[in-house]
Amino acid sequence: MKFCGNCGQQLDDNATFCTNCNAVIGEPAAYQYAAQEPVQQPVQPQQPVYIPEPSAAPYGAAPAPANDDPYPINVTHKGFWSLGFFFGIVGLILYFVMKNSKPRLAKSALKGFIAGCILYGVVIGIYVIIAIIGALSMM
């Protein structure tokens, strides 16, 4: 009986290779090939694929409005809100002028306009109530 010099498996006397590890019988272990472990090629990193954006809208479609607003989403536009609050007509005009080109600035001016109108309505309402109470107390 023969034994494999590589893995120790018991073999037939006329075996030329091991049935367990595929090592050649009769050669030193240094010259035997390892058939069970295929050689792997080195993995090449994949290059990123550049997909260009379409340069223009399809024929007949309106181009997308330009958004040149450099501010991040979470930035409040206090100056435009203040203009809309203290000078309502200016805030309303700014909204209609800038609603397509700078939508966040325009919304900020509109919100200031709406807040100013609400506050103005509350102040006028309080004034009317005080005037009515004063007129009723004079009677």
Whether 132 maps to a domain, the answer reads yes
Whether 2 maps to a domain, the answer reads yes
Whether 47 maps to a domain, the answer reads no
- Could you tell me the end-to-end alpha-carbon distance of the chain, in angstroms, rounded to an integer? 131
pLDDT at 18 over 70: yes
Q: In terms of residue numbers, what domain contains 95?
A: 78-138
Same domain? 85 vs 134: yes
Q: What does the mean pLDDT of the chain come to?
A: 77
What pLDDT digit, counting tens, does each position of 115-137 carry? 999 999 999 999 999 999 999 98
Whether 125 maps to a domain, the answer reads yes
Whether 46 maps to a domain, the answer reads no
State percent of the chain over pLDDT 90.
Answer: 16
Phi and psi based region of residue 9 (left: phi greater than 0; alpha: psi -120 to 50; beta: remaining): beta
| Structural domain count, the chain | 2
pLDDT at 65 over 60: no
Whether 100 maps to a domain, the answer reads yes
Whether 68 maps to a domain, the answer reads no
Q: How confident is the model at residue 56 (pLDDT cuts 50, 70, 90)?
A: low
